[in-house]
Amino acid sequence: MKVPKLEVKYTTMLCFACGKKNPIGLRLKPFHDGEKVVIEFRPSEFHQGWDNIIHGGILYTLLDEAAAYAMLCHGIELGVTGKSTIRFKHVAPVNEPIYTSAWVTKIARRLVTVKGVLTLKDNTVVAEGDFLFYVWNWSRKAFLWDLDGVIADSYAFHFAAWQEAFARRGIRFSSKQFAQLFGTRNDFIVRQVMGNKVSQGEMRALLQEKEETFRQEAKGKLKAFPQVSALLNTIKKGNFKLGLASSAPKENIDFVLSELNLHGLFDCIVSGQDVAESKPSPEIYLTAAEKLGTAPNDCIVIEDSPAGIKAAKAAGMRCLAVASTHPKKQLREADKVVESLENLDLISLLVKV
């Protein structure tokens, strides 16, 4: 099948199925639950064929839309329908919700097959569909994650360790100072607190104390933020590139990933020791993109700090900010800000950021 070369985005605001600006459209809201795409839709009398029975074309549209998004969530930016087979099994009444689910069953280099099912609230099967798509474009998207405050709920452990390390040197370290500096590299934090005349020997001793205290206090207590592990694994299963770019030293990154059972998940890891400059410099994110072989404009960064957001935007990347360690008003430079990642899915990351 020959397809003309076009510049196509994931979705259009005027799409009949999911477009938000189509006044006569269905305005579907697909969601990826980690295994399949699901859509809930309540049809009205304007969607009927026979009296009080939903038109078969609407039912087909639900299945086709869910199937297309299932393909998207497996790293295929765009595909075109080559063949579809629909088996209608039960009528769907007006004004009752219809539940659509779809999942990929097979992926080859140029072809993808998808299965879809429509059910009523009582699990009665309305229709089943099998779809064959021709792959048009594979996605080039990469997701670059910060670690502390995004994946790991480690803020309190780091603050306590910094306080203890500075207190041994007669320096008071306030929560306000830490809030402003969290997300930057360790040496940057020390120089902001103690000035630029800190000797290399004193710097090494302080940082060693701080990180040893952090690991001792966090061991066995450290947790990931809700649903983060599931979202990371969904991205990985979807064939998207996954990078970690953290200002933390490599020893801390290894410790945190081990505590959270996330070792082996990332395609590349860049630590604060791998770059010359701390966030808000874009160096750490540009280095991660280079290691992944991905252009900056194909990268989506997940951050929690103003410094991290500045780094991502300076790198020419899109950025999702999570208000886990800073208030939302301080994160406004991001492309999108959410309270948490708990209710976020892969489709939201791909389409809305």
**What span, in angstroms and rounded, lies between the C-alpha atoms of 273 and 56?**
59
Asked if 305 and 155 touch (Cβ cutoff 8 Å), the reply is no
C-alpha triplet 254, 258, 263: angle, nearest 5° = 80
List, as own/partner pairs, every contact residues 104-107 make where C-beta atoms lie below 8 angstroms and the sequence separation is at least 24, other chains included: 104/70, 104/71, 104/73, 104/74, 107/74, 107/76
Q: In what order do the strands lie in the sheet with 98-107?
A: 31-32, 37-41, 98-107, 111-119, 125-138, 76-88
Q: Is 79 exposed, middle or buried (0-12, 13-18, 19+ CB in 10 A)?
A: buried
Name the catalytic one among 51, 64, 130, 146. 146
Give the up-direction half-sphere exposure of residue 35: CA atoms within 13 A in the CB hemisphere: 2
DSSP 147: -
**What span, in angstroms and rounded, lies between the C-alpha atoms of 281 and 131?**
46
DSSP code per residue over 166-182:
HHTTT----HHHHHHHT
Output the furthest CA–CA distance in the chain (Å, rounded).
Answer: 83
Of 63, 77, 78, 76, nearest to 30 by C-alpha is 63
Name the catalytic one among 64, 122, 130, 148. 148
Of 147, 336, 174, nearest to 242 by C-alpha is 147
**What span, in angstroms and rounded, lies between the C-alpha atoms of 103 and 203?**
53
The alpha carbon of 265 is separated from its chain's Cα centroid by a whole number of angstroms, namely: 14
Q: Mark whether 146 is an active-site residue.
A: yes
Q: Is 3 exposed, middle or buried (0-12, 13-18, 19+ CB in 10 A)?
A: exposed
Mind telling me the catalytic residues? 146, 148
